[in-house]
Structure 1
């Protein structure tokens, strides 16, 4: 089976859990954006977290996550929906450093620590929900944990990880979100905290072949959990030539005519998936709005 996530309840229903493997998803993102290893890890962690966060919502809701930490990588943007589909990009894909003191990709240095993590939820209402918190570590897992505690007032633990091959392709990726539900007892929380201190890094478990089911068992070895749902996950962009045509029409007759006169056509590229769309002069003429 390809990438997928699991939604579950653990510790007699006192904890809400999502575990995921996103290796193919992040591999696709890396291939499209040609990211260097540290940028791949930062983008992959953000895409994985966004996908799991959207999976918590209902219906056709979607979320947009933006990480702006002030580091050389620039902004990281990820869109995700409840169907396990996610897309995203990083402003500066060609960012990479030597490994940090822990022998890991230095994501914090790439992301920076003087900025914000923001989440916009499109809930189908008149106004979207927006939450924003300061970046506290730049490693992203801790930053998403802080977001849930500060913006949504939900005690949580977020783990996201990406391993990259020397040839820059993605070796393993995935993550988990664990949230404390109302009424959870201190014993269950304490037991979870101790387990999180001893469990190997999530990316290492996935690299060893662990599926989302096995990650759930890794987190709760006593078997006190109940799987509620399994769902595929994938990199997916809903851009199209028609959507870009609509945007070009919105530029107005003068701007479109300038494209025709100066360039004899136009080419646009989707930021999220790097797909290119070409418009001939005749196609642009057809897009000029009637006066």
Structure 2
């Protein structure tokens, strides 16, 4: 089944909600970066959240970046998403290995202490930047805290990634539920009760829940209106042309040093690990372009 995302409102628009299945997306990321199980879980959760948060943006050109800088062995993660729920991302240390904690992958231990940055580039002079300190390193909790503190939107974020024994991704997905300022007390109480009854997003995904049925669990006892359904995927828009521009931007001196070594160079895209090779002749052509700048 292809990954997809739904947007919904509930209780007469007092609640807005998002849910997604992201199994293929997370497995694609795992293959690109050859991540360890705990790195797959951490990156998978952040990619899943990125797809939903990207879809919250209005314009086709808007770009969302979620960045975690941390002192744990994973060293950091970066995910970017657009408003069509295309996402890409990477971890600084894809090989991180940790023993399980309470029978689960220890994502919090992999991240340790750190900061979560959310950057929204909406074509204005300055991007919006929100920042919070990591609360648990489990990512869902950290984003829940971010929404409440940086955006003043009470939210609940549930994210899950379940691995197979062969370290491929069995299932992944999640939800974000946000309450509007005019929410009634009884609606809020119902929502809080529903969320307290969800002990594991991963367990729900393993039972075969779809984005729609995930929301039925979270929003039990409320009228739900699905407003939109859209596909989501791991998608990197890198190209040799973009890498050429990046090489030109580093300046004549560095390009000349590469040429003087007399060897082909290989440049890898951070986000998808695709390697682009450049011969000495190609570098010489790029040096000429750099001189024109």
Give the TM-score normalised by structure 2.
0.96
Q: Confirm or deny: 8 A CA contact 1:267 1:279 kept in the other structure.
A: yes
Aligned to 2:98: 97
Between 1:250-259 and 1:58-67, the stretch displaced more is 250-259
Q: Give the aligned partner of residue 80 of structure 1.
A: 81
- The 3-state SS of whatever aligns with 2:261 is helix
Give the corresponding residue for 1:62: 63
Alignment of 1:164 with 2:158, yes or no, is no
Report if aligned partners of 2:194, 2:217 keep a CA contact under 8 Å in 1.
no
Shift of 1:200: 4.4
Residue 218 of structure 1 and its aligned partner are, at CA, apart by: 1.9
Mapped contact 2:8–2:224 kept (Cα < 8 A): yes
Task: List runs of 5+ in structure 2 lacking aligned partners.
Answer: none
| Alignment partner, residue 225 of structure 1 | 224
Q: CA deviation at 1:274?
A: 0.3
1:264 shift after superposition: 2.3
Counterpart-to-counterpart distance in 1, 2:70 and 2:257: 37
Alpha-carbon contact 1:118-1:130 (below 8 Å) kept: yes
Contact 1:161 1:174 in 2 (8 A): yes
> Secondary structure in 1 aligned to 2:203?
helix
* 1:28 corresponds to: 28
SS of the residue corresponding to residue 86 of structure 1 reads strand
Deviation at 1:14, TM superposition (A): 0.4
Q: How many residues align?
A: 289
Deviation per residue, 1:70-101 (Å, 9 max, x gap): 11101110000111100000001111222212
Aligned to 1:11: 11
Q: TM-score normalised to the size of structure 1?
A: 0.96
Does structure 2 retain, via aligned residues, the 8 Å contact 1:69–1:138? no
Distance in structure 1 (CA, Å) of the matches to 2:278 and 2:94: 27
Over residues 76-135 of structure 1, what are the superposed CA-to-partner deviations in whole Å (9 max), with x where a residue is unaligned? 10000111100000001111222212x2111110011x2110000001111100000001
Contact 2:65–2:81 under 8 Å retained in 1 = yes
Shift of 1:246: 0.8
CA contact (8 A) 2:194 2:220 kept: no
Q: Does 1:267 align with 2:286?
A: no
User: Over the residues paired in the alignment, what is the CA RMSD in angstroms?
Assistant: 1.2
Q: Which runs of 4 or more aligned residues in structure 1 lie more than 3 Å from their structure 2 counterparts after TM superposition?
A: none
1:245-256 matched pairs, under 5 angstroms: 245-256=244-255
Counterpart CA distance in 1 for 2:19 and 2:122 is: 23
Residue in 2 that maps onto 1:48? 48
Question: 1:216 deviation in Å?
Answer: 1.6
- What is the rounded CA distance, in whole Å, between the counterparts of 1:263 and 1:273 in structure 2? 27
